[in-house]
Amino acid sequence: MSESRAQRPRRFLVCEPRHFAVQYAINPWMQPDKPVDVDLAREQWQTLIRAYRDHGHTVESVEPVPGLPDMVFAANAAFVVGGRVFGSLFHAPERRPESLHYDTWFKTAGYDVYRPESVTEGEGDLVWTGRYVLAGTGFRTTREAHREAQEFLGHPVIGLTLVDPYFYHLDTALFVLDDDNICYYPEAFSAGSREVLRRLYPDAVLATRDDAMAFGLNSVSDGQNVFIAPQAEALAERLAGHGYAPVPVDLSEFHKAGGGIKCCTQEIRS
């Protein structure tokens, strides 16, 4: 029998895909010779924003900047817990200028922003569980950045090693359902990291490679509703069986750049 779940209103920061394109290849999904339908991408993105607002969440926007096609992936620009903003230092030179624009938004909004010295890609690899930070490494964010995050945030940081290049960010292989549980694809992680996750979350919802390849783990949960790619139908059914309410939102144009719902969504935790 499924359990009753409790929703908690969230505050999200996003960036309109006005200049979205696949102009370079920095992950296995990106193929510059396959064009992006920018009008469709904007329509899909607007559907996501409406879904968030329809479910009671607050959505704020950063102004997109010409020449930064991946700026739409707001999650990668920072990690915010308790009003503390841990900024980003992107692995790819093409994305490094994005940090300045997000830092400026946060500073204008009254936040202090920590500038990391080590490569770190915000909520792409730093995931808040309500008690500690799960932190990915292996492709983008470095272990030294995990140490920096712990020192700045004052919360325990638990490092997890990613081993599959298709799941180069932690948020493509794992997402938090609520304060007690997560959903993840075990084979995206090293053997030791899988064991850590088993110990921390013995009742986790487990995903398959098909679920992960459909961007089913690049989802956003508010504790009750799970905003999820409709292509991940089997995972949505599994989540419904655990008492969560799947909210399908198609961001298939963004999959061409290796991103999805969570990539487009930065959560501001004041």
195 in a domain, yes or no? yes
Q: How many CB atoms lie within 10 A of CB 66?
A: 8
List the catalytic residues: 169, 263
Radius of gyration of the chain (CA): 17
199 in a domain, yes or no? yes
Predicted pLDDT at 1:
40
Predicted pLDDT at 2:
53
**Domain range enclosing 20:** 11-267
Q: CATH number of the domain that 36 lies in?
A: 3.75.10.10
6 in a domain, yes or no? no
- Are 11 and 270 within 8 A, CB to CB? yes
1 in a domain, yes or no? no
Predicted pLDDT at 27:
73
137, β-bridge pairs: 161
Q: Which residue has the tokens 């919802």?
A: 205
55 in a domain, yes or no? yes
Residues with pLDDT less than 50, the chain: 1
**Nearest Cα to Cα of residue 189 among 169, 204, 218:** 169
Torsion, Cα of 177, 182, 187, 191 (10° steps) = 160
Q: How many structural domains comprise the chain? A: 1
Residue 199 CA from chain centroid, whole number: 23
CA-CA-CA-CA torsion sign (18, 23, 25, 26):
negative
Helices and strands (H, E) in the chain, number of each type:
7, 15
Q: How far is CA 25 from CA 34, 42, 92, 264, in A?
A: 11, 21, 10, 18
C-alpha to C-alpha distance for 120 and 140, rounded to whole angstroms: 7
4 in a domain, yes or no? no
Predicted pLDDT at 33:
78
